[in-house]
Copies of this chain bind each other. A is one copy, B any other.
Amino acid sequence: MAKHDVRLDLCFSALGDPTRRRIVQRLARSEASVSELAAPHDMALPSFMEHLKKLEAASLVTSRKQGRTRICALAPDAFAPVRDWLTEQAEIWEGRLDRFDDYVLNLTRERGNETGPED
Contact = CB atoms under 8 A, between A and B. Distances in A.
Interface of A: 1, 5, 8-18, 21, 24-25, 28-30, 74, 79, 82-83, 85-86, 89-90, 92-93, 96
Contacts of A8: 15-16, 18, 21
14 contacts: A5-B18, A5-B21, A8-B15, A8-B16, A12-B16, A24-B89, A28-B92, A28-B93, A29-B96, A74-B93, A82-B82, A82-B86, A83-B86, A86-B86
A28 B89 contact: yes
Nearest to A83: B86
A96 B30 contact: yes
Contacts of A96: 28-30
The 6 A-B pairs at the shortest CB distance, nearest first, are namely: A13-B16, A12-B16, A28-B92, A12-B15, A28-B93, A28-B89
